[in-house]
Amino acid sequence: MPNFDYDLFVIGGGSGGVRAARMAAQRGARVGLAEVGALGGTCVNVGCIPKKLYSYAAHYAAAFEESRAYGWDFDGLRFDWARLKANRAVEITRLNGIYAGLLKSSGVTVLNGWASLADGHTVEVDGKRLTAQHILLATGGRPSVPDVPWRDQVLVSDDMFDLPTLPRRLLVVGGGYIASEMASIFHGLGAEVTQVLRGGTLLRGFDADISTFLAAEMRKTGVQLRLNTQVSGLARHGESWTAQLKTDDDTVSLPVDAVLYATGRTPRSAGMGLAEAGVQLDENGAVVVDARYASSLPSVFALGDVTNRLQLTPVALGEAMALVDDLFGPARGKPVRHMAYEYIPTAVFTHPNVGTVGFTEAEAREEFGAVDVYRSEFKVLKHTISGSTERTLVKLLVDKASDRVVGLHMVGPDAGEIVQGFAVALKAGATKAVFDQTIGIHPTLAEEFVTLREPLP
């Protein structure tokens, strides 16, 4: 048997890579990990964590205003962008340190540098060659900007957390969850935000009712949402821009101070020698893997965003644990874990939030045929006197044949927190009868999900 330097070598120190390295080392494997940037990957450094922190910050302006109806008065309020950035940086540095500490305490050797693949058992890190029985690619993804003449001058989502100043007028290009979140966040922080998308649907791929409802609610908050619109020109004037926004009927000029393209993400696979070593990539640069996360080179594995399956941190974590169990055996007394991709909950931290798990209505009808749809739209108790016009939408999809709840969707406050609990029920196969038999907590928004009685005609 060859004498390798490591049993497992991980390229990428994001959520999936760190989890796989730690778990493998705890099984007694000799593990190395290479990361060229800060530990924690996109989620910790320029994704989930700073985004949620900024989302919290953006809610305060509305909360202060709503509090007046509850007897509070505030004078002289102002927002300090620099203070938010500084406090975010402190927290992210703390998390980077936690990741480093976890790897060290697990016995993982961490190399700071760019890693590439020489062959199925060899990696090269800044000129140094190392061998491993198994190699894991966990390099994540990166923002993608379409091939427009100004692509090298615009901002991407990674840039938004540390801008020198808060833009007074922001143009957001894109209609997915990142674009919509950024539009909501920066509007809440005080910017005038225009969001444009080529298509006619916000959050394409989500339930149609959710997309339509969210668009209406975002417009009510003051986001200028322009559907079926393209940026046909972009000219810079010192520190500002003029954007030409084109629809089928008209072209308008829009002066802005910053332009964000949030038009998708692509797998981070370039410059690593993957194809040259024999790793198959798809047309988008994603590593093609089988059910065991093995690439076309049997000793090379990949998981997380670089495989372009579901770009969610918890998915990468689940894949990492399944892979480690497969390669090195489960933890003592535990069964082998497997990753299941159905009924994965997700949230979108727009204002208001979106939470969803299971099938959309269109998907459910295609999968099950006859489907009962339960839907309710209302103003939550808080806003009955707050003065806010925000409304909430909840929706259940039930397979008629089995009575199983196969989709649950929500637009409203704390949607992610609420849907997470219901995701357990859907994963367990709960029926509508079980929902009906469950006592609600009153008065709460969430009780609406267990008090829906009449399906739509």
DSSP 80-149: -HHHHHHHHHHHHHHHHHHHHHHHHHHT-EEEES-EEEEETTEEEETTEEEEEEEEEE---EEE---S-T
User: What pLDDT is attached to residue 177?
Assistant: 97
Cα-flanking dihedrals φ and ψ of residue 120, to 5°? -65, -15
Report long-range pairs for 383-386 (Cβ below 8 Å, ≥24 apart). Answer: 383/66, 385/69, 385/70, 386/66, 386/69, 386/70
Residue ending a domain, choose from 211, 239, 263: 263
Q: What is the pLDDT of residue 453?
A: 95
pLDDT at 88 over 60: yes
pTM of the model: 0.96
Q: What is the pLDDT of residues 346-385, one digit of tens each?
A: 999 999 999 999 999 999 999 999 999 999 999 999 999 9
Looking at the structure, do residues 17 and 139 belong to the same domain, yes or no? yes
Nearest to 271 by CA among 105, 139, 430: 139
Domain end marker among 245, 263, 281: 263
Contacts of 249 (CB under 8 A, 6+ apart): none
- Cα end-to-end distance, the chain, whole Å: 67
Does residue 197 sit in the same domain as residue 273?
no
Q: Which among 68, 236, 26, 218 has a CA at the least distance from the CA of 149?
A: 236
Give the pLDDT score at 316: 97
pLDDT value at position 1?
Answer: 54
Given a contact cutoff of 8 angstroms between Cβ atoms, the answer to whether 282 and 308 are in contact is: yes
Domain total of the chain: 3
Same domain, yes or no, for 49 and 97?
A: yes
In a domain, 321, yes or no: yes
Residue that is written with structure tokens 């089988």 in the block: 290
Whether 128 and 18 share a structural domain: yes
Q: Please report whether residue 339 resides in a domain.
A: no
Question: Residue 231: its pLDDT value, please?
Answer: 97
Residue type, 103: L
Residue 455 maps to a domain: no
Q: Report how far residue 342's alpha carbon sits from residue 239's, in angstroms, rounded to the nearest whole number.
A: 47
Give the pairing of strands 346-348 and 141-143: unpaired
Q: Specify the pLDDT at position 76.
A: 83
pLDDT at 333: 87
Let me know: does 20 contact 323? Beta carbons within 8 Å. yes
On whether residue 456 sits in a domain, the answer given is: no
Residue 4 banded pLDDT, cuts 50, 70, 90: very high
Is position 152 within any domain?
Answer: no
% of the chain surpassing 70 pLDDT: 100
Q: Are residues 132 and 57 in the same domain?
A: yes
In a domain, 231, yes or no: yes
Are 14 and 316 a contacting pair, CB within 8 Å? yes
Residue 291 shares a structural domain with residue 381: no
202 and 179, same domain (yes or no):
yes
Q: Which two tokens stand for residue 353?
A: 């939030």
Average pLDDT over residues 185-189: 98
Q: Identify the bridge partners of residue 116 per DSSP, sorted by sequence position.
A: 124
How many Cβ atoms sit within 10 Å of the Cβ of residue 455? Answer: 15
What CA dihedral angle connects 429, 434, 440 and 445, to 10 degrees?
A: 40
Q: Evaluate whether 400 touches 372 at the Cβ level (below 8 Å).
A: yes
Q: What is the pLDDT averaged over residues 9-14?
A: 98
Question: Containing domain of residue 127, as a range?
Answer: 6-143+266-328
244 is written with which tokens?
A: 């030409």
List residues bridging with 137 in a β-sheet: 11, 302
Mean pLDDT of the chain: 96
User: Pick from 352, 355, 191, 354: which is nearest to 260 by CA?
Assistant: 191
Q: What are the catalytic residues?
A: 442
| Mean pLDDT of the 430-454 span | 97
The verdict on 138 and 184 lying in the same domain is no
Does the structure show a pLDDT above 80 at 2? Answer: no
The span from the CA of 200 to the CA of 249, in Å, is 15
Q: What is the pLDDT of residues 281-314, one digit of tens each?
A: 999 999 999 999 999 999 999 999 999 889 999 9
Q: What is the H or E stretch that residue 232 is in?
A: strand 230-237
Do 239 and 318 fall within a single domain?
no
Question: Amino acid identity, residue 230?
Answer: Q
Give the CATH number, domain containing residue 180.
Answer: 3.50.50.60
Local structure of 12: helix, strand or coil? coil
Q: How far is CA 302 from CA 238, 287, 313, in A?
A: 44, 7, 14
**CA-CA distances (angstroms) from residue 91 to 53, 66, 166, 178, 404?**
10, 29, 20, 21, 42
